[in-house]
Amino acid sequence: MRIRTAAALVFCLAGSQQTAWAGYDSHPKFEQFATELEKEYQIPPEEAKRWLAQSKRLNSVLEAISRPAERTLQWDRYQDIFLTQKRIQGGKKFLKTHAALLAKAEQEYGVPREIITAIIGVETFYGTRQGSYRVLDSLATLAFDYPKRPLFWKQLKAFFAMTRDEGLDPGKIKGSYAGAMGYGQFIPTSFLAYAVDGDNDGKRDLWNNPADAIASVANYFKRHGWRTDEPVTQRVRVQGSAYEPLVNDNRKPKWTAGQLIDKGVSFTQEGGDLQRPANLIRLQGKQGAEFWLGEYNFYVITRYNHSRMYAMAVYQLSKALSE
Ligand SMILES: [Ca+2]
């Protein structure tokens, strides 16, 4: 008990010292950051200094990034989290409330409304759980104090470009501990590349404006190669052992449907071009191993989030929403 108290006290002091040495503008790597920011986005170093002086190290962010809980789950548990009655009901309500916006996005980008809705449902429970971290703090903490992932260094630069472009106050933006923002949890580089102004009011507001959020998710899918009216996946059966080296091999399909059949895979839904790209996916389900056909659109969903379980949850939620 005494040891724990002492440790807690030390931790507490360390924490207050860390916030006391002001912001990340006094970090040894600040000059490099400011130089790159100016070179890449023409943002003057004084701007970087002004904002980073207000940034704070968040130990909770470093703790959160060190335990990526969802990735360690198997599909049997993962689906319990994302395919609940509550999430299905919420999605049906979202489809109804935003029917006109979803129809417009579907027409313009060729992405089904149920897929757009399922993404937003899995990411933020339809916009209601967007994350409460101040992105200035979370991204600065990860960029400067989590060198294992240079991605965040890049994201912090893009974050300042985003707030400049949109006329936003960097200190007021909220998001996940990893800097994902809004209904669809766009990271700053995704915002710069794929966010669109869905209602033509001159702003891209992915936090409060469902028109912008819906159109941006649809645009993301279109730009990543979504194939309109093509399937996503279907359950398959396997026999023999020739299929084994193909299991979960490449995110991007590198086989054809015909080649999978040759290796002992049989489809539950017949038809379709045997020359089309395809993958073999195995998930650990409640009744043991499940095998699925990864169509090209399944791969496109994994470009939103690399996890096969994520893509499957989005697909199955979208199916539940269309019933
Ligand atoms: Ca807008």
31 labelled catalytic? no
pLDDT for 3:
35
Tell me the two tokens of residue 8.
Answer: 């807690």
- Cα of 200 to ligand 1 centre, how many Å? 5
Q: How many CB atoms lie within 10 A of CB 122?
A: 24
- Domains annotated on the chain, with CATH: 22-228+310-323 (1.10.8.350), 233-294 (no CATH)
For residues 184-201, give the mean pLDDT: 98
Query: How confident is the model over 183-192, as a mean pLDDT?
Result: 98
Token digits of residue 58: 């968040």
3-state secondary structure the chain: CHHHHHHHHHHHHHHHHHHHCCCHHHCCCHHHHHHHHHHHHCCCHHHHHHHHCCCCCCHHHHHHHHCCHHHHCCHHHHHHHHCCHHHHHHHHHHHHHCHHHHHHHHHHHCCCHHHHHHHHHHHHCCCCCCCCEEHHHHHHHHHHHCCCCCHHHHHHHHHHHHHHHHCCCHHHCEECCCCCECCCCECHHHHHHHCCCCCCCCCCCCCCCHHHHHHHHHHHHHHCCCCCCCCCEEEEEECCCCCHHHECCCCCCCEEHHHHHHCCEEECCCCCCCCCEEEEEEEEECCEEEEEEECHHHHHHHCCCCCHHHHHHHHHHHHHHHC
Q: What is the pTM of this model?
A: 0.92
Query: How far apart are the CA of 198 and the centre of ligand 1, in A?
Result: 5
Quote the ligand 1 centre to 104 CA distance (angstroms): 14
Res. 1: pLDDT tops 70: no
* Confidence grade of residue 270 (pLDDT, cut at 50, 70, 90): confident
Please tell me which residue, 7 or 49, carries the higher pLDDT value.
Answer: 49
Instruction: State the distance from the centre of ligand 1 to the C-alpha of 105, rounded, in angstroms.
Output: 14
Residue 58 Cα to ligand 1 midpoint, Å, equals: 31
- Going by pLDDT thresholds of 50, 70 and 90, the confidence category of residue 15 is very low
Question: Quick one: pLDDT at residue 68?
Answer: 66
Q: For residue 148, name the pLDDT band (cuts at 50, 70, 90).
A: confident
The confidence band for 2, taking pLDDT boundaries of 50, 70 and 90, is very low
Is residue 174 within 8 A of residue 133, CB to CB? The reply is yes
For residue 275, pLDDT beyond 90 = yes
Q: Are 90 and 183 in contact (CB under 8 A)?
A: no
Mean per-residue pLDDT of the chain: 92
The catalytic position among 106, 123, 166, 295 is 123
Cβ burial of 290 (10 Å; 0-12, 13-18, 19+) is middle
Higher per-residue confidence, 198 vs 3: 198
Half-sphere exposure of 162 (CA within 13 A, CB side): 29
**Structure tokens given for 323:** 């019933």
Confidence of residue 21 (pLDDT cuts 50, 70, 90): low
User: Radius of gyration (Cα) for the chain, nearest Å?
Assistant: 22
Residue 67 has pLDDT above 90, yes or no: no
Among 21-35, 93-107, 178-192, the minimum mean pLDDT is found in 21-35
* Residue 72 pLDDT grade (very low, low, confident, very high; cuts 50, 70, 90): confident
Q: What tokens appear for 197 in the block?
A: 């102004």
Mean pLDDT of 91-113: 98
> How far does residue 165's CA lie from ligand 1's centre (Å)?
13
What is the distance in A from the centroid of ligand 1 to the CA of 208? 10
Q: Is the pLDDT of residue 5 over 50?
A: no
Residues whose CB falls within 8 Å of the CB of residue 270, separated by 6 or more in sequence, listed in order:
none
pLDDT attached to residue 89: 98
C-alpha torsion 226→227→228→229, nearest 10: -130
Task: Work out the percent of the chain whose per-residue pLDDT is above 70.
Answer: 92
Within 10 Å of residue 15's Cβ, how many Cβ atoms?
Answer: 12
- pLDDT value, residue 39: 98
The Å distance, Cα 167 to ligand 1 centre, comes to 13
Q: What's the pLDDT at 7?
A: 37
Residue pLDDT, tens place only, 216-231: 999 999 999 999 999 9
pLDDT at 276: 96
**How large is the average pLDDT for residues 12-18?**
42
CB 116 within 8 A of CB 105: yes
